[in-house]
Amino acid sequence: MVDTANSKAATPKTVKPAPKGDSLMESVKTIIMALSIALFLRIFLFQPFNIPSESMRPGLLVGDYLWTSKWDYGYSNASIPFSPPILNGRVMGKAPERGDVVVFKLPSDPRQDYIKRLIGMPGDRIQVVGGQVILNGTPVKQEMLEPETITEQNGNVRTATRFRETLPNGKSYVTYDFETNGMFDDTQVFVVPEGHYFMMGDNRDNSTDSRADPILQSGVGFVPAENLVGRGRIVLLSFDETTRFYLPWTWFTGLRWDRLAVPIR
């Protein structure tokens, strides 16, 4: 006699595959959700950047990959990818602090992102005399440090005079000086307009910034508040000049291990 119950239990059930249309829709929904989350994070929280030039050395090096926080100064069109003109001014705007390392859209070409240190606030009078910043008639404190020999991005080996510069609010950082009579070591007096900021690179002889006329010298000029993207917060990773992304082993040999998760000051 055949056990009918056991015979039925042993019979495998046929599972029908999901219709191809349903599977495709689920994939599309997943992609849209992932892109939406990434866009939200990029607009409102963090945005990644990499350092392509020597202008913020020694604090930031070519090959640094960093996070910029978006909430510090509020949000503007500059906060949104491709900067669509949908906002008027800044939303939830907050004033940056003197000495912040700021990512901003270049006023003469908003397609370009620049990173510099904020030196001048609205209404300030800024001048550079003999390489020293004069802020509202008072020289910014400078302390000379031991010189440092470095290899630049182009392979040149140079010795930099280093200064620790301290702003009136106590913000302190190290600057480089390579020339005693550099192009921007002696400037006119700049009066920062309302709603604008004055930016400078820490590598004072190798930085095109607010000291340079945006028309005559392809400089930055005064930076409108609406152009601020965010505040530089932390260097996540950094790769030296030997790194080649088509050679995976150099991702490790060229990694600057001492610059992992370094706060930006």
Report how far apart, in Å, the C-alpha atoms of 120 and of each of 130, 141, 192, 203, 245 are: 18, 15, 7, 17, 39
Q: Is 25 exposed, middle or buried (0-12, 13-18, 19+ CB in 10 A)?
A: exposed
Strands 101-106 and 109-120, bridge-based pairing: antiparallel
Report how far apart, in Å, the C-alpha atoms of 224 and of each of 29, 78, 108, 145, 228 are: 39, 11, 11, 34, 7
Q: Measure the CA–CA gap between 65 and 256, rounded to whole angstroms.
A: 11
Active-site entry in 55, 79, 207, 210: 55
Active-site entry in 70, 76, 105, 116: 116
Q: Measure the CA–CA gap between 236 and 116, rounded to whole angstroms.
A: 18
**Spatial strand order in the sheet of 132-135:** 138-139, 132-135, 125-129, 190-191
Q: Is 172 a catalytic residue?
A: no
DSSP label at 10?
H
Position of tokens 């599977």? Answer: 23
Q: Is 23 a catalytic residue?
A: no
DSSP label at 13?
P
Residue 250 in 3-state DSSP? helix
Residues with active-site annotation: 55, 116
